[in-house]
Chain A
């Protein structure tokens, strides 16, 4: 349900205005109507500061996550620190870290260049050079370096790496040797000096990281500073949205207040003598949306918001999509064992570990788990095991049951040949009965035959006849689809009545009557409830009556010819649309079936492990757990997304849901 809103226009004397705004913010129920305004420098600066806080908080959160729980528990509650000063400190640390890292990269490069030459005294080399003895540094690849050079030239090999040889040539300043190797400049910094610089930056980084860790433990201060700043920004925006009248002496502010909270504001205004006008929303108003649903439907609000909030004039569909979504999720996942697993895990987590804010989501998942159990039982699938084909056996007790269920004695006597025979699957069992009594009699007493057969597992006897086979699950998916489409049309008609008048809903109601009528009459005739002749006349009447509604009331605001033309176009749209929409619901069956098949295959493979001696049972269990976990995760994804599509496309389309409402955000602390 959408909470009714009232529009308030406040006229406040300029000297009172700051006090008024403070109190309005304390009450915290007014959604201010923002007017177009030019952003001030302060507002721009505050917005960029807010971004800095947000990015800092997310960086610090990551840091906290990477630390162990000891540091995390050191979260300070002392909010007396200055958030801005801490932010400054954080930025300094970040800059230092960046500078240090740049330095370290450069030093690392230099170290790599100097390391092969070892530690030497640059001053001595220079003083020797002044005294007519110079040093030249060379590097050559191992392939190029010739060992005879050591005899030919005054060289000394300093070091060798995997591919290169580093050597020094000592010569008198007059001499000039030519060697086929790369001469390099004598590094001007010694290895020891570089190492000490490198260590300095490494140590400084440790200090900076320690400082950042300390800041991370004060994340609450950052959060508070961010919230305060957000408050300041909202305040500034409200001030900028104020219209100044009468030489800036009177301030005009407009806002929306939920009807149920309006007295708190009007009482305050009366008390301090602020003039205000309150009015109900008009059609052209863009009213903010606040949803108020019962406990169950409230859980599905996040799902509805994935698409869009309704506009104020529309009916909120959350409560109506909830049961469908739940059942559809169950249908797609379709395995009672998986449902039970989800329900058990989520219940445990919710009871012992979950934080309060995520509990509603967990409750939603509990409902989805319960729906999965239900739909899993309907299709007879538990952890990939098919409960339907669990052996069929007729015995004397079965015959007594058949007799007591009014099955004629001659039919019972015909099946005496298959009493005592065991059939593995339902198909085989029915094939045997068809052979004995014929298909017509089987169809008539199908339910009795299903109930009378004993399963290999006695626990199933009481409900196995209720389990639907895959053909029936296919049909059930379409039935659910037809039901949701019709329900959507009902919502569309209700929306029309709410937003305009009954006349505008006649076309939609006519469509509903036509579809339901055709299903009852033609479907009933096809199923043998009526004769074909007896439904001919009612069908014509149905077509006539609904045709008038569809063609002549399509658009009551236009003239009759335009309405008729629009009606014709509508017929084309509906004929193709409904068929497509209905087919879309096949996904419920397909996802359920493919999930069940995968689960079954996991079981089949796992059973193979049992033949291995000793390790077999362990591998069996491990494979089952891993396999079913994977299938469950994969199926859950599909089971969530596909009902979303059915809701947002098929259901919303047939409900005429437009959406696009903006959320109610009160001006508050």
Chain B
């Protein structure tokens, strides 16, 4: 039984880092691809493209941050309770799934913004603001993980 708790806990941590990491990779690649296209049309706005491409990278960091907060509690061992294990698994699911989807969706907003800038529209500021909308939910998931870790 103790082993099941440890397995569940590590499953939670894996989901946390894995899913958010995948989300951020896909999100940043979307920005990167759009940048390559936009560079053909307007190559003097690389700074804007790069900043927008980097935005979906944060979810992966939240995933890692969540992993760190829980891992540094030092409670994942044979003597841990099933409740603690389920709490960690829940945190992993929350942060992992929300991070995954929000990063990909954020990447889409950024890629559209990059296309638009490439076509000569001055929408850098607007895209930045709109792109952080989906990120809020990854932030809330991270805060949730933090609150869960406080109660472990």
Contacts and interface: CB of A to CB of B under 8 A. Distances in A.
Contact of A306 (B125, B133, B146): B125
Contacts, number: 71
A558 interface: no
A498 interface: no
Contacts of A584: 136
Given A306-B125, A307-B125, A637-B51, A590 B143 contact: yes
Of listed B64, B128, B139, B146, residue having the most chain A CB within 10 A? B139
A587 B62 CA distance: 11
Q: How large is the interface on B (under 10, 10 to 19, 20 to 34, 35 or more residues)?
A: 20 to 34
A634 B128 contact: no
Contact of A470 (B51, B58, B64, B146): B146
Q: Dominant SS at the B interface? A: helix
Nearest to A642: B132
Interface string B33-69: 0000000000010000001001101100110110011
Contacts of A597: 64-65, 68-69
A598 B55 CA distance: 17
Contacts of B58: 591, 594, 634, 638
Nearest to A583: B140
Contacts of A307: 125, 129
A590 B150 CA distance: 14
By DSSP majority rule, is chain A's interface helix, strand, loop, or mixed? helix
Contacts of B135: 587, 642
B125 A634 contact: no
B132 A645 contact: yes
B142 A594 contact: yes
Contacts of B61: 594, 598, 634
A362 interface: no
B131 to A, nearest CB: 8
Contacts of B68: 597, 600-601
B140 A594 contact: no
A641 B106 CA distance: 13
Contact of A593 (B55, B136, B146): B146
Contacts of B125: 306-307, 644
A648 B65 CA distance: 27
Contacts of B132: 641-642, 644-645
Interface in B119-151: 125, 128-129, 131-133, 135-136, 139-140, 142-143, 146, 150
Given A307-B125, A593-B65, A586 B143 contact: yes
Contacts of A601: 64, 68
A527 to B, nearest CB: 20
Given A583-B140, A590-B62, 6 more contacts: A470-B146, A594-B142, A597-B65, A598-B65, A634-B54, A641-B55
Interface pairs A-B: 8 shortest CB-CB? A306-B125, A594-B65, A590-B139, A645-B132, A587-B139, A597-B65, A586-B143, A590-B142
